[in-house]
Amino acid sequence: MAARTLNGNSIRDEIYSELAGEIAALRGAGICPGLAAVLVGENPASKIYVTSKIAASEKLGLAGFNLTPPDTITTSDLLRLVHDLNRRDDVDGILVQLPLPPQVDVKKILEAVDPAKDVDGFHPLNVGRLVAGRPNLVPCTPAGVMEIFRRSGIALEGARAAVLGRSDIVGKPLALLLMHANATVTVCHSKTRDLPDVVRRADIVVAAMGRAAMVTPDYIRPGATVIDVGINRIADPAQAEKYFANFPERLAAFRAKGTALVGDVHPDVANVAGALTPVPGGVGPLTIAMLMSNTVRAARLRRGSRAPVAAVQPR
Protein backbone atom coordinates (compact mmCIF):
# COMPACT_ATOMS: atom_id res chain seq x y z
CA MET A 1 0.00 0.00 0.00
CA ALA A 2 1.30 3.48 -0.90
CA ALA A 3 1.76 5.94 1.93
CA ARG A 4 -0.94 8.49 2.69
CA THR A 5 0.11 11.84 1.22
CA LEU A 6 0.29 14.67 3.75
CA ASN A 7 -0.65 17.53 1.42
CA GLY A 8 1.05 20.76 2.49
CA ASN A 9 -0.89 22.85 -0.02
CA SER A 10 -4.22 21.83 1.51
CA ILE A 11 -3.00 22.53 5.04
CA ARG A 12 -1.60 25.89 3.94
CA ASP A 13 -5.00 26.82 2.50
CA GLU A 14 -6.67 25.94 5.82
CA ILE A 15 -4.25 28.20 7.68
CA TYR A 16 -4.69 31.03 5.17
CA SER A 17 -8.46 30.79 5.52
CA GLU A 18 -8.15 31.18 9.28
CA LEU A 19 -5.62 34.00 8.99
CA ALA A 20 -7.79 35.91 6.52
CA GLY A 21 -10.57 36.19 9.08
CA GLU A 22 -8.11 37.16 11.79
CA ILE A 23 -6.48 39.83 9.62
CA ALA A 24 -9.88 41.24 8.65
CA ALA A 25 -10.82 41.58 12.32
CA LEU A 26 -7.51 43.32 13.07
CA ARG A 27 -7.98 45.72 10.18
CA GLY A 28 -11.48 46.44 11.41
CA ALA A 29 -9.86 47.56 14.67
CA GLY A 30 -7.49 49.84 12.77
CA ILE A 31 -4.52 47.44 12.85
CA CYS A 32 -2.83 46.44 9.59
CA PRO A 33 -0.07 43.90 10.33
CA GLY A 34 3.08 44.70 8.36
CA LEU A 35 5.91 42.43 7.22
CA ALA A 36 9.28 43.87 6.14
CA ALA A 37 11.66 41.68 4.14
CA VAL A 38 15.31 42.67 3.79
CA LEU A 39 16.93 41.19 0.68
CA VAL A 40 20.60 42.06 0.31
CA GLY A 41 22.02 41.83 -3.21
CA GLU A 42 20.82 39.87 -6.23
CA ASN A 43 20.87 36.22 -5.15
CA PRO A 44 18.34 34.62 -7.58
CA ALA A 45 17.04 31.98 -5.16
CA SER A 46 16.66 34.55 -2.38
CA LYS A 47 14.77 36.88 -4.72
CA ILE A 48 12.31 34.10 -5.52
CA TYR A 49 11.80 33.32 -1.82
CA VAL A 50 11.30 36.95 -0.81
CA THR A 51 8.99 37.69 -3.73
CA SER A 52 6.79 34.73 -2.78
CA LYS A 53 6.72 35.83 0.86
CA ILE A 54 5.72 39.40 0.04
CA ALA A 55 3.13 38.20 -2.48
CA ALA A 56 1.58 35.90 0.13
CA SER A 57 1.44 38.71 2.69
CA GLU A 58 -0.25 41.11 0.29
CA LYS A 59 -2.73 38.46 -0.86
CA LEU A 60 -3.79 37.95 2.75
CA GLY A 61 -4.18 41.67 3.37
CA LEU A 62 -0.95 42.29 5.24
CA ALA A 63 1.23 45.28 4.45
CA GLY A 64 4.39 44.11 2.68
CA PHE A 65 7.67 46.08 2.60
CA ASN A 66 10.56 44.86 0.45
CA LEU A 67 13.93 46.48 1.20
CA THR A 68 16.79 45.71 -1.21
CA PRO A 69 20.16 47.14 -0.10
CA PRO A 70 23.15 46.38 -2.36
CA ASP A 71 25.44 43.42 -1.72
CA THR A 72 28.23 45.89 -0.90
CA ILE A 73 26.46 46.97 2.29
CA THR A 74 28.47 46.93 5.52
CA THR A 75 27.44 45.42 8.83
CA SER A 76 27.03 48.87 10.39
CA ASP A 77 24.81 50.12 7.54
CA LEU A 78 22.64 47.01 7.67
CA LEU A 79 22.38 47.39 11.44
CA ARG A 80 21.08 50.94 10.94
CA LEU A 81 18.46 49.64 8.52
CA VAL A 82 17.31 46.96 10.98
CA HIS A 83 17.15 49.45 13.85
CA ASP A 84 15.00 51.73 11.67
CA LEU A 85 12.59 48.84 11.06
CA ASN A 86 12.56 48.11 14.80
CA ARG A 87 11.31 51.67 15.41
CA ARG A 88 8.62 51.68 12.71
CA ASP A 89 5.14 51.15 14.13
CA ASP A 90 3.77 49.97 10.76
CA VAL A 91 6.20 47.02 10.76
CA ASP A 92 5.23 44.09 12.98
CA GLY A 93 7.50 41.45 11.46
CA ILE A 94 11.07 41.65 10.17
CA LEU A 95 12.82 38.94 8.19
CA VAL A 96 16.38 39.22 6.96
CA GLN A 97 16.78 36.83 4.04
CA LEU A 98 19.81 34.56 4.31
CA PRO A 99 22.49 34.12 3.14
CA LEU A 100 24.08 37.53 3.61
CA PRO A 101 27.27 38.69 1.84
CA PRO A 102 30.53 37.52 3.46
CA GLN A 103 31.47 40.97 4.75
CA VAL A 104 28.31 41.14 6.90
CA ASP A 105 28.28 39.73 10.45
CA VAL A 106 25.18 37.53 10.29
CA LYS A 107 24.91 36.99 14.05
CA LYS A 108 25.03 40.72 14.78
CA ILE A 109 22.28 41.37 12.24
CA LEU A 110 19.94 38.62 13.48
CA GLU A 111 20.47 39.60 17.11
CA ALA A 112 19.70 43.25 16.25
CA VAL A 113 16.15 42.41 15.18
CA ASP A 114 13.61 43.29 17.88
CA PRO A 115 12.60 39.91 19.40
CA ALA A 116 8.97 41.07 19.27
CA LYS A 117 9.30 41.45 15.47
CA ASP A 118 11.49 38.39 14.89
CA VAL A 119 9.06 36.42 12.73
CA ASP A 120 11.81 33.98 11.68
CA GLY A 121 12.24 32.98 15.35
CA PHE A 122 16.04 33.22 15.15
CA HIS A 123 16.73 35.74 17.95
CA PRO A 124 18.42 34.19 21.04
CA LEU A 125 15.56 35.41 23.24
CA ASN A 126 12.98 33.58 21.15
CA VAL A 127 15.22 30.50 20.99
CA GLY A 128 15.51 30.58 24.78
CA ARG A 129 11.76 30.83 25.20
CA LEU A 130 11.37 27.78 22.98
CA VAL A 131 13.92 25.83 25.03
CA ALA A 132 12.06 26.78 28.20
CA GLY A 133 8.75 25.55 26.80
CA ARG A 134 7.31 29.08 26.55
CA PRO A 135 7.49 29.68 22.80
CA ASN A 136 6.59 33.07 21.39
CA LEU A 137 7.74 33.30 17.77
CA VAL A 138 8.93 29.89 16.52
CA PRO A 139 11.04 29.22 13.40
CA CYS A 140 8.67 28.82 10.49
CA THR A 141 9.63 25.45 9.03
CA PRO A 142 9.48 23.56 12.37
CA ALA A 143 6.22 25.31 13.20
CA GLY A 144 4.86 24.24 9.83
CA VAL A 145 5.85 20.62 10.45
CA MET A 146 3.96 20.70 13.76
CA GLU A 147 0.89 21.99 11.92
CA ILE A 148 1.13 19.06 9.53
CA PHE A 149 1.12 16.67 12.49
CA ARG A 150 -1.75 18.46 14.22
CA ARG A 151 -4.00 18.88 11.22
CA SER A 152 -3.31 15.39 9.86
CA GLY A 153 -4.14 13.63 13.13
CA ILE A 154 -0.61 12.29 13.69
CA ALA A 155 -0.30 11.32 17.37
CA LEU A 156 2.90 12.63 18.97
CA GLU A 157 2.49 11.82 22.65
CA GLY A 158 4.64 8.81 23.47
CA ALA A 159 5.79 8.41 19.86
CA ARG A 160 9.41 7.72 19.01
CA ALA A 161 10.67 10.46 16.69
CA ALA A 162 13.94 10.64 14.76
CA VAL A 163 15.03 14.06 13.52
CA LEU A 164 17.76 13.82 10.88
CA GLY A 165 19.68 17.09 10.99
CA ARG A 166 20.69 19.42 13.81
CA SER A 167 20.56 22.87 12.21
CA ASP A 168 19.51 25.90 14.23
CA ILE A 169 16.79 26.61 11.65
CA VAL A 170 15.07 23.22 11.50
CA GLY A 171 16.54 20.27 13.39
CA LYS A 172 17.11 21.73 16.84
CA PRO A 173 13.88 23.75 17.16
CA LEU A 174 11.80 20.88 15.76
CA ALA A 175 13.33 18.46 18.26
CA LEU A 176 12.33 20.84 21.05
CA LEU A 177 8.78 21.20 19.73
CA LEU A 178 8.43 17.42 19.53
CA MET A 179 9.73 17.01 23.07
CA HIS A 180 7.26 19.61 24.32
CA ALA A 181 4.56 17.51 22.60
CA ASN A 182 5.73 14.52 24.69
CA ALA A 183 7.43 12.59 21.90
CA THR A 184 10.65 10.71 22.64
CA VAL A 185 13.16 12.34 20.32
CA THR A 186 16.48 11.18 18.86
CA VAL A 187 18.46 13.83 16.98
CA CYS A 188 20.60 12.24 14.26
CA HIS A 189 23.40 13.81 12.21
CA SER A 190 26.34 13.00 9.98
CA LYS A 191 28.28 11.40 12.85
CA THR A 192 25.47 9.15 14.10
CA ARG A 193 26.58 5.52 14.10
CA ASP A 194 24.41 2.89 12.42
CA LEU A 195 22.07 5.62 11.19
CA PRO A 196 19.58 3.39 9.34
CA ASP A 197 19.17 1.17 12.42
CA VAL A 198 18.60 4.19 14.66
CA VAL A 199 16.03 5.75 12.32
CA ARG A 200 14.21 2.48 11.71
CA ARG A 201 13.10 2.36 15.36
CA ALA A 202 11.12 5.59 14.98
CA ASP A 203 7.38 6.03 14.53
CA ILE A 204 8.03 9.51 13.10
CA VAL A 205 10.97 10.44 10.88
CA VAL A 206 11.84 14.01 9.92
CA ALA A 207 14.53 14.28 7.23
CA ALA A 208 16.36 17.62 7.16
CA MET A 209 19.92 16.73 6.17
CA GLY A 210 20.07 18.50 2.80
CA ARG A 211 21.14 15.37 0.90
CA ALA A 212 19.05 14.26 -2.06
CA ALA A 213 17.14 10.99 -1.54
CA MET A 214 19.46 9.95 1.30
CA VAL A 215 16.69 8.28 3.32
CA THR A 216 15.95 5.02 1.55
CA PRO A 217 13.27 2.42 2.41
CA ASP A 218 15.66 0.48 4.65
CA TYR A 219 15.67 3.48 7.04
CA ILE A 220 11.92 3.33 7.58
CA ARG A 221 9.83 1.13 9.83
CA PRO A 222 6.70 -0.01 7.94
CA GLY A 223 3.83 2.37 8.68
CA ALA A 224 5.98 5.22 10.01
CA THR A 225 5.14 8.86 9.34
CA VAL A 226 7.86 10.53 7.26
CA ILE A 227 8.29 14.31 6.94
CA ASP A 228 10.63 15.37 4.13
CA VAL A 229 12.05 18.86 4.72
CA GLY A 230 14.68 18.65 1.98
CA ILE A 231 14.48 20.46 -1.35
CA ASN A 232 17.19 19.43 -3.82
CA ARG A 233 17.27 20.12 -7.54
CA ILE A 234 18.78 17.35 -9.66
CA ALA A 235 19.88 17.57 -13.29
CA ASP A 236 21.85 14.34 -13.69
CA PRO A 237 19.97 11.78 -15.82
CA ALA A 238 21.68 8.91 -13.98
CA GLN A 239 20.38 10.22 -10.66
CA ALA A 240 16.91 10.63 -12.11
CA GLU A 241 16.92 7.06 -13.44
CA LYS A 242 17.95 5.83 -9.98
CA TYR A 243 15.45 7.91 -7.99
CA PHE A 244 12.44 7.54 -10.30
CA ALA A 245 12.88 3.93 -11.50
CA ASN A 246 9.50 3.02 -9.99
CA PHE A 247 7.82 6.34 -10.85
CA PRO A 248 7.60 6.55 -14.66
CA GLU A 249 5.54 9.75 -14.65
CA ARG A 250 8.19 11.60 -12.62
CA LEU A 251 10.94 10.21 -14.82
CA ALA A 252 9.09 11.37 -17.92
CA ALA A 253 8.68 14.84 -16.38
CA PHE A 254 12.41 14.97 -15.63
CA ARG A 255 13.26 14.03 -19.21
CA ALA A 256 10.95 16.74 -20.52
CA LYS A 257 12.38 19.49 -18.27
CA GLY A 258 15.92 18.28 -17.66
CA THR A 259 15.60 18.94 -13.92
CA ALA A 260 13.48 17.81 -11.00
CA LEU A 261 13.02 18.57 -7.32
CA VAL A 262 13.58 15.76 -4.84
CA GLY A 263 13.61 15.74 -1.09
CA ASP A 264 15.95 14.10 1.39
CA VAL A 265 13.70 11.03 1.21
CA HIS A 266 13.94 8.56 -1.67
CA PRO A 267 10.64 8.28 -3.59
CA ASP A 268 10.52 4.52 -2.94
CA VAL A 269 9.88 5.27 0.76
CA ALA A 270 6.26 5.83 -0.31
CA ASN A 271 5.92 2.05 -0.52
CA VAL A 272 6.97 1.54 3.12
CA ALA A 273 5.79 4.57 5.10
CA GLY A 274 2.29 4.99 6.45
CA ALA A 275 2.22 8.71 5.68
CA LEU A 276 4.62 10.95 3.76
CA THR A 277 4.99 14.59 2.74
CA PRO A 278 5.69 15.06 -0.98
CA VAL A 279 8.39 17.26 -2.52
CA PRO A 280 7.31 19.68 -3.78
CA GLY A 281 3.98 20.43 -2.09
CA GLY A 282 4.72 19.17 1.42
CA VAL A 283 6.61 21.18 4.02
CA GLY A 284 7.50 24.07 1.69
CA PRO A 285 4.05 25.73 1.55
CA LEU A 286 3.82 25.57 5.35
CA THR A 287 7.03 27.54 5.83
CA ILE A 288 5.53 30.63 4.21
CA ALA A 289 2.16 30.04 5.88
CA MET A 290 3.80 30.06 9.31
CA LEU A 291 5.68 33.25 8.44
CA MET A 292 2.30 34.86 7.80
CA SER A 293 0.97 33.38 11.04
CA ASN A 294 3.97 34.69 12.99
CA THR A 295 3.46 38.17 11.54
CA VAL A 296 -0.16 38.23 12.65
CA ARG A 297 0.81 36.88 16.07
CA ALA A 298 3.52 39.53 16.41
CA ALA A 299 0.99 42.24 15.53
CA ARG A 300 -1.42 41.00 18.20
CA LEU A 301 1.27 40.73 20.86
CA ARG A 302 2.70 44.17 20.07
CA ARG A 303 -0.70 45.89 20.12
CA GLY A 304 -1.89 44.18 23.30
CA SER A 305 -5.35 45.25 24.34
CA ARG A 306 -5.95 47.02 21.01
CA ALA A 307 -6.09 43.70 19.19
CA PRO A 308 -9.63 42.23 19.08
CA VAL A 309 -9.81 39.08 21.17
CA ALA A 310 -12.49 37.57 18.94
CA ALA A 311 -10.04 37.53 16.04
CA VAL A 312 -7.64 35.13 17.73
CA GLN A 313 -7.76 31.66 16.21
CA PRO A 314 -6.88 28.63 18.35
CA ARG A 315 -3.39 27.25 17.66
Active site residue 53: yes
Closest to 132 measured CA to CA, from 179, 83, 188: 179
Active site residue 236: no
Burial of 194: CB neighbours in 10 Å, binned 0-12, 13-18, 19+: exposed
Closest to 276 measured CA to CA, from 285, 287, 286, 266: 266
Among residues 92, 97, 117, 118, which one is catalytic? 97
Contact 143, 293 (CB under 8 A): yes
Among residues 53, 114, 118, 228, which one is catalytic? 53
Spatial neighbors of 165 by CB under 8 A, at least 6 apart, are: 171, 188, 189, 206, 207, 208, 209, 210, 229
How far is the first Cα of the chain from the last one, in angstroms, to the nearest whole number?
A: 33
Active site residue 47: no
The number of angstroms, rounded, from the C-alpha of 33 to the middle of its chain's C-alpha atoms is 20
Among residues 114, 118, 120, 228, which one is catalytic? 120
Q: What residues are annotated to the active site?
A: 53, 97, 120
